[in-house]
Amino acid sequence: MNKIKVGVVGTGFIGPAHIEALRRLPNVEVTALCEVTAELAKQKADGLGISRSYTFDELLKQEDIQAIHICTPNFLHYSQSKAALLAGKHVICEKPLAKDLVEAEELVALAAQTGLVNAVHFNLRYYPLARQMKSMREKGELGEIYSFIGSYLQDWLFYETDYNWRLEPDKSGDSRAIADIGSHLMDILEYITGLKTVAVMADFNTIHKTRKKPLKAVETYSGKMLAPEDYADVPITTEDHANVLLRFDNGSKGVITVSQVSAGRKNRMSLEISGSKKTFTWCSESPNEMWIGNRDKSNEILMRDPSLVNEDVRSTITFPGGHNEGFPDTSKQMFKEVYAAITEGKQPENPTFPTFADGYRELLICEKILESNKAQAWVTI
């Protein structure tokens, strides 16, 4: 087997998650790691058991590297994705695809022009029961969609001493909670329902108007053990919490709430989709169960099991029912589809995985949500 050689750029929280998932694919080899300096790249590569390390420009010159994973802070996504495409590499980029629509539109056009495989890491689509809801809706089992209720709640920025580059607009953009986790929610909403969001009404809240930035390095999800003199006060302009009313192209309505200051909620995405026949409910904290609500008979619980889900969902499941699969498996299942396309050497006509075009779509929705919050009014998409 000729393995596809991959370079991964960035070693924060999500870079190693990509690496772990890629290592579970038999036709892929994580060959190289990239960081801002050669010294840091070597240190991180050694720690992750990767044989080759480079700075970004050096990585692009490696002819045997066929695909690049962009796992850097948001402000680098556009320039690095563009450079990788121009170097003839297939690109898998973290969301958001770019910092604004102009950049995203350019990347979509460039990817189409090159014909190279392009994907955005909206991996939460790849929870098997998320695809099961989509499949059941397509088969008419949900009926006409009446409403959507969604939330994505975290607590990793609960304290004023919690700090991360995502709090800095020059690195992350003008939106934080919506752009970071709300984008996953809006993507999976449209993916499952098949609806398009046509208007939004948003209301943001910044709980900590000032945060204390550590003057020493602190890992994102580690405990904070610093003294008062180890912090600097930083004003915060992005949202900790947001509520958004939604209008869809079928005339139905929805609402989402996102928060990064909900104590005890480590990473909880919840979906409730009500239709004329049934209601589907699913939560990422118990991802192997789907609740199906009925009016005239007992409600049901569907367990994630390849023998119980629809045939078109089975490819996203590796283990039998009762052998739970979770967050790391979503990336593996997504990359399995992406690398099937890379094996063919070009972007499919109808990709099953989220593409740069999907990245553009979510950036558009996020910008309209930002616009709505500023205007405190409904904004059409």
pLDDT tens digits along 223-244: 556 777 788 999 999 999 999 9
Question: Cβ neighbours of residue 330 under 8 Å, at least 6 residues apart?
Answer: 123, 124, 125, 126, 127
Number of H helices, E strands in the chain: 11, 17
DSSP secondary structure, 183-209, as one string:
HHHHHHHHHHH---EEEEEEEEE-S-S
What is the spatial distance between Cα 281 and Cα 291, in angstroms, rounded to a whole number? 5
Beta strands in the chain (DSSP E): 4-9, 28-34, 52-54, 67-70, 90-93, 118-120, 145-153, 197-205, 210-214, 231-235, 241-248, 253-259, 268-275, 279-283, 289-293, 300-303, 379-380
Alpha carbon 21 to its chain centroid, in Å, reads: 15
Tell me the average pLDDT across 20-26: 97
Per-residue pLDDT at 229: 76
Secondary-structure breakdown of the chain: helix, strand, coil percentages, each rounded to the nearest 5: 35, 25, 40
Question: Cβ neighbours of residue 14 under 8 Å, at least 6 residues apart?
Answer: 71, 94, 121
Average pLDDT, the chain: 95
Matching residue, tokens 């958004």? 244
HSE of 307, CA atoms in CB hemisphere, 13 A:
4
Which is more confidently placed, 341 or 170? Answer: 341
The mean-pLDDT minimum among 148-152, 164-168, 203-207 falls in: 164-168
Nearest-CA neighbor of 188 among 111, 87, 120?
Answer: 120
Out of 44, 89, 95, 368, the active site residue is: 95
0.95 exceeded by pTM: no
Per-residue pLDDT at 117: 98
Nearest-CA neighbor of 69 among 160, 154, 4?
Answer: 4
Beta strands in 276-342 (DSSP E): 279-283, 289-293, 300-303
What is the spatial distance between Cα 102 and Cα 108, in angstroms, rounded to a whole number? 10
Instruction: Give the largest CA-CA distance in the chain.
Output: 65
Tell me the average pLDDT across 51-70: 97
Each residue of 197-207: b (16+ CB within 10 Å) or e? bebbbbebebe
DSSP secondary structure, 95-158, as one string:
SSS-SSHHHHHHHHHHHHHH---EEE--GGGGSHHHHHHHHHHHTTSS-SEEEEEEEEE--TT-
**Does residue 30 register a pLDDT over 90?**
yes
Per-residue pLDDT band at 219 (split at 50, 70, 90): low
Per-residue pLDDT at 170: 87
Per-residue pLDDT at 225: 64
What is the spatial distance between Cα 78 and Cα 68, in angstroms, rounded to a whole number? 13
Tell me the average pLDDT across 279-288: 97
**Does residue 150 register a pLDDT over 60?**
yes
Catalytic residue status for 89: no
Nearest-CA neighbor of 277 among 255, 291, 289, 292?
Answer: 292
